[in-house]
Structure 1
């Protein structure tokens, strides 16, 4: 017997799929208004960068042991995160401003800390918006995380960079010429630190579960694009010094602002890619646009919860639903939120486990269809038709029990594989 296999996709099909994925990603980025968010983060960064550096400088100054860490961190910021043509000027002014700000009173110091926290809160809100997280962390927990980032983050990064530089110096002193592999690894330390930093940012900032491989791929892509962008930015400023001709000595400021904006745009796009990887991996990037798909998936969720009403513990976890339905976590959270508001299902166990909250023999599907199939944002000319359709659906719709009848025996074996 010959086993038929699906033929490999042709070059045209692959090109079409890649274009569809890129279009889906760009549409998602446009829907989240990433350019506007990048502008907001640029403005907040300009306001908060000096206070944040002042806080970091105060920490390094208070503990002379960290002096070498401060130098390593400053070198990393100047060489890895800024174009060489402006890094020296920017770092010199920032250090001067931070040194002057470190002499403020207690009230002024508190203002610096608050301004630094506001920047991190803006980043937190932007990332949660990208991951479509509706519920923020409690304020106390957020403040603890922010303070840990401000206080411990620079010290840990500076310590790792200092250790790599010390290792390089010691190796040069005792061995002479380093092996090519070790030399390449030491040269890649700043790049690897950027990858780890972005990975941690994408994995821990959103108040939802992010797979480490998705965060790592997003962090790697962000670091690569930033490195390429820095090289291109430097080449442009070197060969086409139009900003210097127009602005003269004042050219550093617009260049710095443009660099911050482009950097934030790249970081936000990296976060967008990391958030969309589950949908791309499940090949749901095209199905999400089909009319009625969300309503069908919501009914499937209710069917799964109905079948699991007698299990121990009752209900199903978010991981189970995501794996069984093969839907993006954002879409799953939206549907579960709608089911909760309509009284069909409720979360238990800190929101990770969901159970059926209605009687299938009495609960009809009218409100569900009304919520997920009827677009209330239509024009006023169609408002009467939409209202009539809504009333018709709520007049004598089938109950859930009628939809689920005879389903338990048919699908009992399906649960065993999950």
Structure 2
């Protein structure tokens, strides 16, 4: 016997769902203050990336072994990351800085390292904030990773870009006239490199588990939006050269700053999409706005842990809870943290398994209600309010006259005294 399939959503339902998803994503981005984070990253990028690229280009020039690495990096920066209207000027300035990098003093080198670490720390903190990671990596581990990125990142990037360019060049020289499809695929190599780079960024930077498919979709979307933005940016500057008219010879600077800001904003939005994909698969955008959803999730966790008493291995894993409760990993971590603070549940083993930590015959849900619904100890509650709430939950809500009748008597007595 086949299970009947649910009816397909109508076009109106699809539009409503798409608007709900878009609103949910934009609300999340606004809550994380991505525009402010993009501004901070823009400032730090100008301080760190520009001089660091100049030093990298200088090192590639000093060692003939890396000469082709430099050419591949310059081509990638000029053709893939920067708008054509400013790429020539920016690359000329970078090459001028690179020619003078040999005179960099120890103080200048230390400043370059510090600003580079600050940039990576800002990216790290921003991504962990997007993925709602409460626990950062240990500082020793973070510094080791940062140093590896600063020292090995440029070489690995240049090597990968050089390898892709050599592959394309040798293929063209060996085969001759390539079919149109293969030629188009080779032209897409820089875009594929960008997708892989953003995917790796979204997987390895947050201090939590990120699915490769979610990171890949986020990286693909980020690369596509950057390519569209680059084309639109170029068309705007070509048809409406207002920056050139106003700033004259200095027009490259504001254009460059605006491009960096918009690029970081797109990258942060791509990370946001990658972090929200698990929630979207669970249709959690519709539940985020319901009052009391957190309390319902917490009670659902306690119910599963109560049912798992005496099982081997003890408790339930986070993957099990996520699957059976259809809870986003971020919300699940928040709820488990709250239950741990209230003494209801504790992690075991490596922290992935959770067990009931209280005696279910004695523990009540009072602290959970105080934490997630209404604090019964607050002095602002009127007499009879908790009783009215209890009646409401039982399906027998009192009318306003019955709820405030005692207040009217008290007010008349107070007026008589004055």
Under a length normalisation based on structure 1, what TM-score does the superposition of the two structures give? 0.87
Equivalent position SS for 1:346: strand
Deviation for aligned residue 1:94: 2.4
Alignment of 1:68-87 (within 5 A): 68-87=68-87
Higher mean alpha-carbon deviation, 346-355 vs 374-383, is at: 374-383
Could you tell me how far apart the structure 1 residues matched to 2:24 and 2:263 are? 22
Q: 1:151 to 1:406 in 2, by over 3 A?
A: farther
Higher mean alpha-carbon deviation, 22-31 vs 221-230, is at: 22-31
Q: 1:296 to 1:404 in 2, by over 3 A?
A: farther
Contact 1:365/1:399, CA 8 A, preserved across alignment:
no
Cα deviation, 1:362-395, whole Å, max 9, x if unaligned, reads: 2221111111113899998999979999999999
Deviation for aligned residue 1:78: 1.2
Q: 1:274 to 1:27 in 2, by over 3 A?
A: same
Deviation for aligned residue 1:63: 4.4
Could you tell me how far apart the structure 2 residues matched to 1:192 and 1:412 are? 77
Q: 1:353 to 1:55 in 2, by over 3 A?
A: farther
Could you tell me how far apart the structure 2 residues matched to 1:274 and 1:415 are? 61
Higher mean alpha-carbon deviation, 175-184 vs 123-132, is at: 175-184
Equivalent position SS for 1:66: helix
Cα root mean square deviation, aligned? 11.0
Cα deviation, 1:232-284, whole Å, max 9, x if unaligned, reads: 00000001001000100010011011101111111111111111100110111
Contact 2:132/2:330, CA 8 A, preserved across alignment:
yes
Higher mean alpha-carbon deviation, 392-401 vs 189-198, is at: 392-401
Under a length normalisation based on structure 2, what TM-score does the superposition of the two structures give? 0.87
Cα deviation, 1:198-220, whole Å, max 9, x if unaligned, reads: 11111111111111100000000
Cα deviation, 1:376-417, whole Å, max 9, x if unaligned, reads: 999989999799999999999999999999999999999999
Q: Give the total of aligned pairs.
A: 418
Could you tell me how far apart the structure 2 residues matched to 1:415 and 1:304 are? 55
Alignment of 1:204-215 (within 5 A): 204-215=204-215
Could you tell me how far apart the structure 2 residues matched to 1:95 and 1:376 are? 67
Contact 1:55/1:113, CA 8 A, preserved across alignment:
no
Unaligned runs of 5+ in 2: none
Could you tell me how far apart the structure 1 residues matched to 2:199 and 2:185 are? 19
Q: 1:104 to 1:407 in 2, by over 3 A?
A: farther
Could you tell me how far apart the structure 1 residues matched to 2:416 and 2:353 are? 18
Deviation for aligned residue 1:310: 1.7
Contact 2:370/2:376, CA 8 A, preserved across alignment:
no
Contact 1:130/1:271, CA 8 A, preserved across alignment:
yes
Q: 1:4 to 1:279 in 2, by over 3 A?
A: same
Q: 1:226 to 1:343 in 2, by over 3 A?
A: same
The answer to whether 1:270 aligns with 2:300 is no
Deviation for aligned residue 1:179: 2.6
Could you tell me how far apart the structure 1 residues matched to 2:64 and 2:403 are? 71
Higher mean alpha-carbon deviation, 128-137 vs 314-323, is at: 314-323
Could you tell me how far apart the structure 2 residues matched to 1:327 and 1:153 are? 36
Q: 1:198 to 1:2 in 2, by over 3 A?
A: closer
Contact 2:58/2:101, CA 8 A, preserved across alignment:
no
Higher mean alpha-carbon deviation, 146-155 vs 367-376, is at: 367-376
Q: 1:401 to 1:191 in 2, by over 3 A?
A: farther
Contact 1:59/1:151, CA 8 A, preserved across alignment:
no
Higher mean alpha-carbon deviation, 193-202 vs 361-370, is at: 361-370
Q: 1:35 to 1:371 in 2, by over 3 A?
A: same
Q: Which of 1 and 2 has greater Rg?
A: 2
Cα deviation, 1:61-86, whole Å, max 9, x if unaligned, reads: 56432221121012101110110000
Contact 2:388/2:397, CA 8 A, preserved across alignment:
no
Could you tell me how far apart the structure 1 residues matched to 2:305 and 2:416 are? 15
Deviation for aligned residue 1:169: 2.6
Unaligned runs of 5+ in 1: none
Cα deviation, 1:144-182, whole Å, max 9, x if unaligned, reads: 222222222222222222122223333333332123232
Alignment of 1:92-171 (within 5 A): 92-171=92-171
Higher mean alpha-carbon deviation, 150-159 vs 232-241, is at: 150-159
Contact 1:56/1:151, CA 8 A, preserved across alignment:
no
Contact 1:57/1:102, CA 8 A, preserved across alignment:
no
